Amino acid sequence: MSSGGGFAGTSVSKTAADVAVPLLLDGNHRALADMGGPSGSRGPDRLPQVDYARTMTDSARIRQRATAGVPWSQARFLRFPAVQVERSEARAAVAHRGPVLLSGPPWSGRTTALEQVGRQLLHAGIAPDRIGWVELGQAAWRDCDLPTVVAAFEDGPPSAILLDDLPADTVEWLLAYRGPVRLIATRAGVVASSLPLSPWTFWRALRTWDVGVPLPGGASTEEVLRSAMRLSDASDALAEPLRRYLLLGAFPALLLSPNRDPAVELAAAQQAVAARVLDRTLFKQIPLDTGIREPAVLEALLADVARSPGELLAPSAVAARLGITQPTVDKYLDALARAGLVHQLRNGFEANPRRGRRVLFVDGAVRNAVLRLGVHPLVDPEEMGHLLFHSVISHVVAWARRAGTEVGHWRRGRLAVDIVVRHPGGPLALQMGSSRTALESLRAFTRENPDFESRGWLLLHRAPPTWPAHHESGVGRIAVVPFLVALGMALEPP
């Protein structure tokens, strides 16, 4: 079996939409591929058309509107907390010479990253009156379209336009633009040809809370594991910060809030996630982007997934429970995945990518809000286990995507391996738990897939770190808390 980027001996396919996806490998930005058109030109002769009824064309008025009361004013920059971690993606966006689209899950800090871009552009010498901030979805911009806004900044000194929450019908135009104006935009969800924001990892949360953690480390599989082993003694000290991180979710706005009574904090977090993430995504973003006109069915599907976390998806059974068709289940799950609410992990060793899927939340705190669990996670160890499992999956997915590969799982009857990654820095198989079945599953998997020999690990709450080759079972042991920290370190530039 090949050890390429995909599963079952296949490599990850590279479609035309994937060519321009930038990667941050070990902190080094790989520039986006040129999407066509001579240098300094606007790209293709016939750019994608944006269907807007525009009524304002006066360049001076457009520039005045875009730069008046800008959110990246010096006053706003000074308001940033000193401990806030600068987004590496913001630096990568500024370093890139063409248009950049920053994408990420709902409420993941996209606007903050764009503000950091604005600050860096100011520090680079672009005059404040030559940097525009535009939200085309807002009422103030309904009389203007993106090409007209850009044209207003094309004459004169160097300029840039930062576009927050870019509408779906302008993405193609933005990425095809090759004019003199720097265009950097944000968009919610998982978007092809974009620079994905890595999640607000546990390592980042610790930095936000000014907890002493090591500086970023290497991103290969062995480097991540070695970093986790060096941190193995920190498991107990980091247990309470991890608990707060899991309960609040990987949302910077919540993690930056003052520490309060856990029950009060958890209730407030669930209300905020329901309003800022679920309502906006299910009832606004997805219907606008996909034409889906049944957000209540989306909500019911998400609740159905939440009630059986991590289990194999049975689309026909889900369809019967919700009174919809199986193709509708597939379509709506794809929409939820593109919106950044769920991961769909396939059995990487099945020919049919839809067979044997596991659907998991990008953030377990969203599951809490979907099910309206209230304070239940505070008193139920099983619920805390679900939160931890979803967090591990999201950390591994972000690490794998940074390297251009995918995450899957493996199942043979009663035997199952939670996480399988053919990372270019070394393959990795992870199983959470220490049961006899967990150990048996990893041993069966590595026998079936020789390229994973001495690459199987049990992920445990507490365990003396042991390399697979040094254990009689041939399966390694690593503690989950330092492993999460190490993955976060790997996602930051050194």
Is the torsion defined by CA of 389, 391, 396, 398 positive or negative?
positive
Angle formed by the axes of helices 239-248 and 480-490, to 10°? 70
* Phi/psi of residue 429, nearest 5 degrees: -125, 130
Torsion angle, alpha carbons of 430, 436, 442, 443, to 10: 150
Contact indicator for 477, 460 with CB cutoff of 8 Å? yes
How confident is the model at residue 10, as a pLDDT?
30
HSE (side-chain half, CA atoms, 13 Å) at 16: 5
Question: Is 184's pLDDT higher than 70?
Answer: yes
186-222 tens-digit pLDDT: 998 888 888 888 889 999 999 888 888 888 888 999 9
Nearest to 255 by CA among 267, 263, 265, 245: 245
How confident is the model at residue 87, as a pLDDT?
83
Question: Is 309's pLDDT higher than 60?
Answer: yes
Q: d(Cα 93, Cα 461) in Å, to the nearest integer?
A: 37
Contact indicator for 184, 93 with CB cutoff of 8 Å? yes
CATH 3.30.70 fits 20-196, yes or no: no
pLDDT range class, residue 141, cuts 50, 70, 90:
confident
How confident is the model at residue 69, as a pLDDT?
53
Give mean pLDDT, residues 338-366: 86
Question: Which residues of the chain form CATH 3.40.50?
Answer: 20-196
What percentage of the chain carries pLDDT values higher than 90?
58
393-413 tens-digit pLDDT: 999 999 999 899 999 999 988
Question: Is 115's pLDDT higher than 50?
Answer: yes
Give mean pLDDT, residues 304-316: 92
